[in-house]
Amino acid sequence: MAQAQRICILGATGSIGESTLDVIASHPEAFEVYAMSAFSQVEKLVALSIKHQPKVLVLPHAAARQQFIALWPSNQPLPEIRLGAEALVDTAIDTAVDTVVCAIVGSAGLASAFAAAQAGKRILLANKEALVASGQLFMEAVKQSGAQLLPIDSEHNAIFQCMTRPIQASQIKEIILTASGGPFRDTDLSLLDRVTPAQACKHPNWSMGRKISVDSATMLNKGLEVIEAKWLFDMPLEKIKVVVHPESIVHSMVHYVDGSILAQLGHSDMRIPISYALAYPERLTNQAPDFELSDLCQLNFRLPDLARYPCLDLAYQAMNAGQQSTIVLNAANEIAVAAFLDQRIRFTDIARLIALMLEQNWSSAVDSIDAVHALDHEVRHQATARLMQFSA
Which tens digit of pLDDT belongs to each residue from 177-231? 999 999 999 999 999 999 999 999 988 776 778 888 999 999 999 999 999 999 9
| Mean pLDDT in residue range 306-321 | 97
Report the C-alpha gap between 235 and 49 in whole angstroms.
40
Burial bucket for residue 234 (CB in 10 Å: 0-12, 13-18, 19+): exposed
Residue numbers in the known binding site for NADPH are 13-16, 127, 129, 209
What is the residue-averaged pLDDT of the chain?
94
Q: Which of 384, 369, 389 is nearest to 113 (CA)?
A: 369
Judge contact between 110 and 133, C-beta under 8 A. Answer: yes
The C-alpha angle 308, 106, 51, rounded to 5 degrees, equals 120
Burial bucket for residue 355 (CB in 10 Å: 0-12, 13-18, 19+): middle
172-179 vs 240-244, strand pairing mode? parallel
Whether the predicted pLDDT of 171 surpasses 90: yes
Residue numbers in the known binding site for 1-deoxy-D-xylulose 5-phosphate are 128, 154-155, 180, 203, 216, 221-222, 225
Cα of 134 vs its chain's centroid, Å: 14
Whether the predicted pLDDT of 238 surpasses 50: yes
By mean pLDDT, which of 9-23, 113-127, 184-198, 203-217 is the weakest?
A: 203-217
Residue numbers in the known binding site for Mn(2+) are 153, 155, 225
Report the C-alpha gap between 318 and 220 in whole angstroms.
12
Q: If residue 210 lies in a helix (H) or strand (E), which one and from where to where?
A: helix 210-218
- pLDDT of 169: 84
Highest averaged pLDDT of the listed ranges 30-34, 166-170, 294-298, 362-366: 30-34
Judge contact between 226 and 135, C-beta under 8 A. Answer: no
Domain 166-263+297-389 has CATH 2.60.40.10: no
Whether the predicted pLDDT of 136 surpasses 70: yes
Domains 5-151 and 166-263+297-389 in one fold = no
- pLDDT of 1: 44
Tell me the backbone φ, ψ of residue 37, rounded to 5 degrees.
Answer: -130, 155
| Mean pLDDT in residue range 126-155 | 95
- pLDDT of 391: 75
DSSP 55: S
Report the C-alpha gap between 378 and 78 in whole angstroms.
41
By mean pLDDT, which of 260-269, 329-338, 356-365, 380-389 is the weakest?
A: 356-365
| pLDDT tens figures, 141-157 | 999 999 999 999 999 99
What is the torsional sign of CA 342, 345, 348, 352? negative
- pLDDT of 175: 97
Report the C-alpha gap between 381 and 70 in whole angstroms.
38
Burial bucket for residue 157 (CB in 10 Å: 0-12, 13-18, 19+): buried
| pLDDT tens figures, 48-73 | 999 999 999 999 999 999 999 999 99
Whether the predicted pLDDT of 369 surpasses 70: yes
| E strand map for the chain | 5-10, 31-37, 56-59, 80-83, 99-102, 122-125, 148-151, 172-179, 240-244, 250-256, 261-265
Please report, rounded to a whole number, the percentage of residues in the chain having pLDDT higher than 70. Answer: 99
204: number of Cβ within 10 Å: 14
Q: Could you state, in order of their start, the residue ranges of all structural domains in the chain?
A: 5-151, 166-263+297-389
Backbone conformation region of residue 264, classed left if phi is above 0, alpha if psi is from -120 to 50, else beta: beta
Whether the predicted pLDDT of 289 surpasses 60: yes
- pLDDT of 64: 97
302: number of Cβ within 10 Å: 11
Tell me the backbone φ, ψ of residue 56, rounded to 5 degrees.
Answer: -130, 140
Which superfamily does CATH assign the domain made up of 5-151 to? Answer: NAD(P)-binding Rossmann-like Domain (3.40.50.720)
| Mean pLDDT in residue range 73-84 | 95
Judge contact between 301 and 245, C-beta under 8 A. Answer: yes
Residue numbers in the known binding site are 13-16, 127-129, 153-155, 180, 203, 209, 216, 221-222, 225
- pLDDT of 313: 97
| Mean pLDDT in residue range 83-91 | 97
Binning pLDDT at 50, 70 and 90, where does residue 254 land?
Answer: very high
Tell me the backbone φ, ψ of residue 221, rounded to 5 degrees.
Answer: -60, -40
Judge contact between 390 and 352, C-beta under 8 A. Answer: yes
Whether the predicted pLDDT of 384 surpasses 50: yes
- pLDDT of 129: 86
- pLDDT of 209: 80
